[in-house]
Structures are given as C-alpha cells and as structure tokens.
C-alpha cells in the first residue's frame, strides 16, 4: 500500500492501473482501495487461498504420487490455485491471449502506426488525436487507441499515456470501458 500512496517507489508496480479499479478520481480510488485492503485484513488468514502448484492442483501429495505411478500427465502451475482442469483452461486462455497479441503486434509495429490507422478510419487528423482535445470524435478515437494498445497489444497504460500526452488513469479508464466489437478493423495499415 506504501507505493500507492507515493511513499515507496517500486518500478514494477503500476499504481495508476491498480487505483483505476477502485474509483474515477485519485481520492475516490485511494479510499476504495483502502476499504478493499482493510476488508481483506479483517477476513484473516485463509489456508485454502495459500499454496498452489502441483500438490494443490492434484488434491495433495498422496494423489500426486498415485498419478506419477500411473504415469499420467498432471497439469499444474504454482501461480494458479485450482484443479488440473482449471489450470489447463487458464493456461490455454493465456496462450490464446499471447497468440492474439502476437498477431496484432505483427500487423501494427508501433503506436504511431496504430494512431495513423485510427485517424484515417475515423476521418480525423492524427495530430488532433494526440492533442488532448476533448471533442467527441477525437475522444472516441483516443478510446479506440487505448483499448487496442492496452487490451490487444498489451502495452502498459503508462507508455500509452506518454504517447498520447494524457495521464495513465485516463488511458486505463478508456481501455476498461465497454470494448468495441470492431477493433480488428484497425488492424491493417492499408486503410
């Protein structure tokens, strides 16, 4: 919680992304985050939420030993709590997301190309997209860019914010709004 309040810096922690889940303004988000953490502390330790990996996925050490004797493959991942079936489904979903991201990145090598594609398709000037204007068509185009960059290309909110000249919380909020169904239309650079 220290870094979210700005006291201790951790480069790997994206404070704006975390706080965006708890409120629209920084003050509201910090208040919501504090309530969330305090509520969790009040629940105390819960052993069923600790551990992970092979023993937990298979149902204990005896089950793991039995599966090994039968030479059955055992899906497991120490980062995921759940049965082997659940672990397999999460890993498959993650692999699909990686493949989708690679497809997008192969078609759109950088944010500048994406911005040009969006500006062309939305019939606005690319400079306007990067200007900070709050006119509706420009805001809509910026929202599309945020959704594609963050959700599809897996760019960080901070890097997209630097590119657009807006705050990270604005980028994350736009990226998390209801996703448009036509995002694939912005994929090709030959619009």
Q: Which residues of 86-104 are buried (b: 16+ CB within 10 A; e: fewer)?
A: ebbeeeeeeeeeeeeeeeb
d(CA 158, CA 109): 18
The count of structural domains within the chain is: 2
Q: pLDDT tens for residues 6-59? A: 677 777 777 888 888 898 888 999 899 999 988 888 888 776 666 556 665 566
**What's the pLDDT score for residue 74?**
66
**Residue 122 falls within a domain, yes or no?**
yes
Confidence of residue 142 (pLDDT cuts 50, 70, 90): very high
**What's the pLDDT score for residue 123?**
92
**Residue 115 falls within a domain, yes or no?**
yes
Question: In Å, how far are 3, 67, 74 from 121, measured between CA atoms?
Answer: 40, 55, 48
Note whether 171 and 100 are within 8 A (CB).
no
Domain assignment of residue 33, given as a range: 3-42
- The two structure tokens encoding residue 69: 């004797």
**Residue 71 falls within a domain, yes or no?**
no
**Residue 143 falls within a domain, yes or no?**
yes
DSSP state for residue 151 in the 8-state scheme: I
**Residue 15 falls within a domain, yes or no?**
yes
The CATH code of the domain that includes 118 is 1.10.1750.10
């Amino acid at each position: 919680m220290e870094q979210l309040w700005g006291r201790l810096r951790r480069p790997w922690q994206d404070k704006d992304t975390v706080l965006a889940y708890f409120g629209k303004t920084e003050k509201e988000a910090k208040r919501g985050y504090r309530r969330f953490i305090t509520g969790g502390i009040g629940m105390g330790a819960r052993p069923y939420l600790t551990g992970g990996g092979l023993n937990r996925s298979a149902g204990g050490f005896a089950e793991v030993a039995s599966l090994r004797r039968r030479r059955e493959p055992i899906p497991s991942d120490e980062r995921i709590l759940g049965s082997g079936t659940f672990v397999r489904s999460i890993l498959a979903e993650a692999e699909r997301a990686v493949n989708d991201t690679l497809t997008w990145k192969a078609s759109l090598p950088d944010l500048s190309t994406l911005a040009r594609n969006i500006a062309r398709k939305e019939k606005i000037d690319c400079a306007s997209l990067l200007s900070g204007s709050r006119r509706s068509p420009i805001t809509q185009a910026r929202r599309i860019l945020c959704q594609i960059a963050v959700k599809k290309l897996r760019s960080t909110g901070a890097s997209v914010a630097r590119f657009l000249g807006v705050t990270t919380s604005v980028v994350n909020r736009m990226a998390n709004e209801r996703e448009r169904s036509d995002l694939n239309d912005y994929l090709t650079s030959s619009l």
